[in-house]
Amino acid sequence: MISIKKYAAIDIGSNAMRLLITNIIEQPDRETQFNKSALIRVPIRLGQDAFTVGEISEENIDRMIDAMKAFKLLMKVYKVERYKACATSAMREAYNGKEVTKIILEQSAVDIEIIDGKSEASIIASSDLHSFIKTDQTYLYVDVGGGSTEFSLFSSGKMIASKSFKNGTVRLLNNMVNDIVWQEIEKWIKANTAEYDNVTLIGSGGNINKLFKMSGKLQDKPLSFLYLNSQYQYLSSLSYEQRIAELGMNTDRADVIIPATRIYLNAMKWSGARQLFVPKIGLSDGIVKALYYGKI
């Protein structure tokens, strides 16, 4: 007898907000399946507010309310049984972040939880990550967001270390990441990967997904350091307008993709990784799984 449940996750990031609706398939004596039913992305760059002036603007509060009302209606149409809404770096740092969540709750009936970097990394690890990790290998998982980047090291199938750094694409665009932060990341990666001979990167986030799509590779094939570096040089040689007109990038992707690529390249360099796998997983997937398994 097959049972189908519908769960949803709302991920309120520094660069965009996402609604993921998932069909959860339960069958006797079989592993539970999580199949994506719909993914809606709204490019509200909250990080531009939070990291530059320290608060979410009235305009973006109104846009968030409209987005949450729309998400709520979509979840009703899709007959979603349970959902969880999580906000990350931008809402964490905006001094009116908690006030904004109260306004949104009153206006849209969507209850948003602001999570810290450690919780974010833990939720992401709850996603389908385990299915990509072989027990005899070592992986550095890198999730690049607009406000922060989460690093998690896995070896022998277990998480060895995890840390969140205030280094994200929106921060980099606004020149808000100094050399000290880069040095801290380098030190952490080198210290935690030193004892392992072969480290493979696993990347997540909209930017690495876009780069992977541009490569034309099959889902189970990795990107090389050389490919990523050549793409970085190529994209950097184009203007913002050219990336939109000639490569068909969204306006909110065409600028952040370059600093994102820089983070992945440095992570590969400092860990000694030569390959980067890009499974389609992220915070939204992790929220659904954590909700299903009672971890949040």
* 3-state SS, one letter per residue, for 129-192: HHHHCCCCCEEEEEEECCCCEEEEEEECCEEEEEEEECCCHHHHHCCCCCHHHHHHHHHHHHHH
List of E strands, 13-157: 17-26, 33-42, 82-87, 112-114, 138-144, 149-155
Phi, psi (5° rounding) for residue 183?
A: -65, -35
Q: 223 and 215 in contact (C-beta within 8 Å)?
A: yes
- What string of pLDDT tens digits covers the 296 residues of the chain? 899 999 999 999 998 999 999 999 999 888 899 999 999 999 999 999 999 899 999 999 999 999 999 999 999 999 999 999 999 989 999 999 999 999 999 999 999 999 987 787 777 766 666 667 777 789 999 999 898 999 999 998 888 998 989 999 999 999 999 999 999 999 999 999 999 989 999 998 889 999 999 999 887 899 999 999 999 999 999 999 999 999 999 998 999 999 999 999 999 999 999 999 998 778 898 899 989 988 77
What angle (nearest 5°) sits at the alpha carbon of residue 148, between those of residues 144 and 152? 65
Q: 35-39 long-range contacts, Cβ below 8 Å, gap at least 24?
A: 37/6, 37/78, 38/74, 38/78, 39/284
Phi, psi (5° rounding) for residue 87?
A: -115, 145
Q: 283 and 120 in contact (C-beta within 8 Å)?
A: yes
**How far is it, in rounded angstroms, from Cα 191 to Cα 193?**
6
The count of other CB atoms within 10 Å of the CB of residue 130 is 12
Phi, psi (5° rounding) for residue 143?
A: -115, 110
Q: 214 and 231 in contact (C-beta within 8 Å)?
A: yes
Residue range 218-249, pLDDT digits in tens: 878 999 999 999 999 999 999 999 999 999 99
> Model-level pTM?
0.87
Tokens read off for 249? 């990038």
**DSSP reduced 3-state for 262:** helix
Residue range 253-294, pLDDT digits in tens: 999 999 999 999 999 999 999 999 998 778 898 899 989 988
What number of H helices and E strands is found in the chain?
12, 11
**How far is it, in rounded angstroms, from Cα 248 to Cα 151?**
30
